[in-house]
Amino acid sequence: MSVSASGAIQLTPVSSGADLREFVELPFRIYLGDPSWVPPLRSDVRWIVDPKKNPFWQHARRELFLARRDGRVVGRVAAIVDESHNLVHGDRTAFFGFFECENDPKAAAALLNAAEGWVRVAFPACDKLRGPLNPSMNDEVGALVPAESEPGPPMIMMTYNPGWYLDLFAEAGFRKEKDVVAILAPVLDHSGDRLGRVAQAVLKRNPALRVRTIRMNRFAEELATVKDLYNRAWEKNWGFVPMTSAEIDAMAKKLKPILYPPYVWFAEMDGKPAAFMLGMPDFNQVLRKLGGSLLPFGWLKFLLEKRKIDQVRLMAFGVLPEFRKRGIDAVLYYLSMQEGVKAGAKRAEFSWMLEDNEAILKDLEVFGGKIYRRYRLVCRDVRPPGAK
């Protein structure tokens, strides 16, 4: 979408229910007619940005901004400071997220400057602005790089945006900081190929290794195991911030109704938790048809359409440091793919991975995985107070 730059840009914080509705609704206008965009549930967006509901905001602060031209909303952004991130990483980074904007460089620059200006006043020690994150590395990450990505809708909880967003960031003085990538692989019966042979060899070589799917009748117990495994397995990753117990509880509450148990795996060594893998059917194939709401008939459409889902996203995988390099990853990949065959899945996405995580990227080549989408995090230095 292009716009005429006839009037001045007005920047205002979101300060009313009407402003919040404008914030939530803007993407529905920007992506109108784009077949690759998946409308989010409006209720989910409101929940994510609500400091009273989303436990992420117990250790973070944010300010939402709207950009208007001639009285019409043309862009939005959130300025975010996560105190846990800066404590864990020992740095002074602020973030921007939920960025949506028409192809209007002046509006984009005004939005990003407003985010930085809020950071300079509220958290003057911050020296870097990074994004986009919606609102953290545990959520939607980065801006799609269309020139280095295959076309089509994103899978569940992955981002999508027009190609001009990266141009808008560059014009506003942002530079690349880190890319994350998504791997796509065909879902095939691997019982007789290399992955199957590797998995069987690992199981034979490690008689104390036990693997199983999630026990939904013991969900609270399983969730406690996930809390420990998730944070310990990822603690050394670039940008990672451990999720609080309240955050994991909130995510589990949202995902539990749509979990598919054969895609959720645990590995135990000598009876001790060693690894887990979380896969989800690609419910974006259903959300594309709901128009951002489950009412009045969205639930019925959801129930009818979910049987047609033929993709899976393997969205979280972690092995504790003491159990790495034993092939547990190959076993869980293999078993997940076999369950995908049974469920009628055609494709599996492994996402996301850091672009420089060569060990995992190489492992995924074993069963035909390839990088097919790239997402970019950009940054710029926060200017000192008083700078224009």
pTM value is 0.92
**What single letter denotes the amino acid at residue 204?**
K
Same-domain check for residues 275 and 305? yes
Same-domain check for residues 226 and 273? yes
Does 193 map to a domain?
yes
Q: How far apart are CA 49 and CA 72, in angstroms?
A: 22
Does 321 map to a domain?
yes
The pLDDT of residue 7: 78
pLDDT in tens, 205-233: 999 999 999 999 999 999 999 988 988 98
Residue 52 sits in a domain of what CATH number? 3.40.630.30
Write the DSSP assignment of 154-200 as a string of letters: PPTT-----THHHHHHHHTT-EEEEEEEEEEEE----TTSHHHHHHH
Same-domain check for residues 242 and 313? yes
Does 15 map to a domain?
yes
What share of the chain in percent tops pLDDT 90? 80
CA distances from 86 to 79, 94, 128 (A): 15, 9, 11
Straight-line distance from the first to the last Cα atom of the chain, in angstroms, rounded to the nearest whole number:
29
Same-domain check for residues 167 and 206? no
Same-domain check for residues 173 and 220? no
Closest CA relative to residue 156, chosen from 40, 12, 72, 251 = 40
Asked whether 312 and 232 are in contact (CB, 8 A), the reply is no
Same-domain check for residues 226 and 314? yes
The pLDDT of residue 95: 98
Does 228 map to a domain?
yes
Same-domain check for residues 53 and 108? yes
The pLDDT of residue 386: 60
Same-domain check for residues 236 and 331? yes
Does 1 map to a domain?
no
Question: Which stretches of 13-58 are DSSP H helices?
Answer: 17-30, 42-49
Question: Within 10 Å of residue 118's Cβ, how many Cβ atoms?
Answer: 23
Same-domain check for residues 23 and 143? yes
For 191, the token pair is: 């019982």
Same-domain check for residues 126 and 225? no
Same-domain check for residues 117 and 195? no
pLDDT in tens, 68-124: 999 999 999 999 999 999 999 999 999 999 999 999 999 999 999 999 999 999 999
Closest CA relative to residue 310, chosen from 346, 261, 263, 262 = 346
Does 2 map to a domain?
no
Domain of 147 in residue numbering reads as 10-180+377-381
Q: How many domains does the chain fold into?
A: 2
Same-domain check for residues 191 and 146? no
Question: Hey, which residues does 374 pair with through a beta bridge?
Answer: 181
